[in-house]
């Protein structure tokens, strides 16, 4: 935790305590990214990806989605340009929804691409943060599933400081997630996914664990970073994106995609339905 606090001081100096999120405009995908394995029969492949609003339409990012071939793609930081580019390049997803940012934060848009019908999309307003969430229900071959799609509050204080925000926003993310979770249908198999803006030991992540949600990525990738940002001779790396499941699912594969030009990496998991 102190390591994160220390590097946030560096981020604050670079960002000059600005209130807008950092934007990637010239990112290079790592060479020789390992291929994503084929899925087990009957598994549902779900991806979460903060595509970065500043790189809208980037072909490498779209290719990273296509190569993973997920059934459901949950997207953060989308906008009109991202929507147009994704729908043009990925016609294999007949079911999709996009909502633009609701506030001055240009990173607040959300999107979803799906092979299966979206029977419910409920927008959950911002609580303790600048971004809304979605409650989604998908009609999959194994039956309906519910997804809470989130982009929790960044570690930025109300005054625009990343350093102060690291210490002052941890409880905000916990309260934000708790409010969203209270709006879920407890009878449906449920996933939580998105940009949580905190690592595995964050307050919101601990709340989810106490309520019985399990991180699908950690058993396969540990605490591998999903976000990185170059600062002079250093590169900051943290695991800020998560995909959690309840007892109705069992992951049989998961990973972090080493491709695309966003500051975030896509995460994915193959999930089998089980009887709790």
Banded model confidence at residue 31, pLDDT cuts 50, 70, 90? very low
Mean pLDDT (whole number) for 75-99: 98
* Confidence at residue 59, expressed as pLDDT on a 0 to 100 scale: 95
* Confidence at residue 75, expressed as pLDDT on a 0 to 100 scale: 98
Q: Tokens 């997803």, residue?
A: 93
Asked whether the beta carbons of 28 and 247 are under 8 A apart, the reply is no
* Confidence at residue 94, expressed as pLDDT on a 0 to 100 scale: 98
Q: Tell me how crowded residue 175 is: count the other CB atoms within 10 A of its CB.
A: 16
* Confidence at residue 151, expressed as pLDDT on a 0 to 100 scale: 97
Report d(CA 85, CA 80) in Å as an integer.
Answer: 9
Fold (topology level) of 40-273:
Deoxyribonuclease I; Chain A (3.60.10)
Q: Is 231 left (phi over 0), alpha (psi -120 to 50) or beta?
A: beta
* Confidence at residue 2, expressed as pLDDT on a 0 to 100 scale: 39
Does residue 196 register a pLDDT over 90? yes
* Confidence at residue 6, expressed as pLDDT on a 0 to 100 scale: 42
Which three-class secondary structure state does DSSP give residue 46? strand
Banded model confidence at residue 163, pLDDT cuts 50, 70, 90? low
pTM, rounded to two decimals: 0.88
* Confidence at residue 41, expressed as pLDDT on a 0 to 100 scale: 85
* Confidence at residue 1, expressed as pLDDT on a 0 to 100 scale: 41
Residues with Cβ < 8 Å from 32, sequence gap 6 or more? none
How far from each other are the two terminal CA atoms of the chain, in whole angstroms?
Answer: 34
Mean pLDDT (whole number) for 200-227: 96
Six token digits for residue 131: 């971004």
Does residue 33 register a pLDDT over 70? no
Does residue 21 register a pLDDT over 80? no
Banded model confidence at residue 32, pLDDT cuts 50, 70, 90? low
- Of 130 and 167, more confident: 130
- Of 37 and 268, more confident: 268
Six token digits for residue 49: 């990806």
* Confidence at residue 8, expressed as pLDDT on a 0 to 100 scale: 46
Mean pLDDT (whole number) for 74-79: 97
Which tens digits make up the pLDDT trace of 106-124? Answer: 999 999 999 999 999 999 9
Does residue 43 register a pLDDT over 90? yes
Does residue 134 register a pLDDT over 50? yes
3-state secondary structure 47-106: EEEECCHHHCCCHHHHHHHHHHCCCEEEEECCCHHHHHHHHHHCCCCCEEEEECCCCCCH
Report d(CA 23, CA 64) in Å as an integer.
Answer: 19
* Confidence at residue 230, expressed as pLDDT on a 0 to 100 scale: 84
Does residue 159 register a pLDDT over 80? no
Banded model confidence at residue 158, pLDDT cuts 50, 70, 90? low
Residue 176: name the closest of 158, 150, 146 by CA.
150
Does residue 90 register a pLDDT over 60? yes
Does residue 168 register a pLDDT over 70? no
């Amino acid at each position: 935790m102190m390591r994160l606090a220390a590097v946030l001081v560096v981020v604050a100096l670079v960002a000059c305590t600005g209130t807008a999120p950092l934007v990637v405009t010239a990112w290079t995908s790592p060479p020789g990214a390992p291929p994503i394995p084929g899925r087990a029969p009957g598994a549902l492949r779900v991806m979460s990806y903060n595509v970065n609003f500043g790189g809208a339409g980037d072909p490498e990012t779209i290719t990273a989605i296509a190569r993973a071939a997920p059934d459901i793609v949950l997207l953060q930081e989308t906008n009109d340009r991202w929507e147009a580019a994704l729908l043009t390049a990925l016609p294999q997803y007949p079911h999709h929804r996009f909502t633009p940012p609701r506030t001055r934060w240009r990173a607040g848009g959300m999107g979803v691409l799906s092979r299966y019908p979206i029977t419910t999309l409920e927008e959950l307003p911002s609580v303790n943060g600048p971004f809304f969430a979605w409650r989604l229900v998908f009609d999959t071959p194994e039956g309906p599933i519910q997804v809470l799609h989130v982009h929790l509050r960044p570690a930025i204080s109300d005054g625009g400081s990343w350093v102060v925000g690291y210490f002052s926003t941890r409880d905000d993310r916990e309260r934000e997630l708790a409010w969203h979770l209270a709006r879920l249908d407890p009878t449906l198999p449920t996933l939580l996914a998105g940009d949580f803006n905190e690592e595995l030991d964050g307050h919101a992540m601990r709340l989810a664990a106490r309520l019985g949600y399990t991180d699908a990525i950690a058993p396969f990738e540990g605490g591998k970073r999903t976000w990185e940002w170059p600062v002079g001779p250093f590169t900051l790396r943290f695991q800020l994106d998560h995909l959690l499941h309840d007892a109705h699912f069992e992951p049989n594969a998961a990973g972090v995609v080493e491709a695309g030009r966003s500051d975030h990496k896509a995460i994915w998991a193959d999930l089998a339905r089980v009887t709790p």
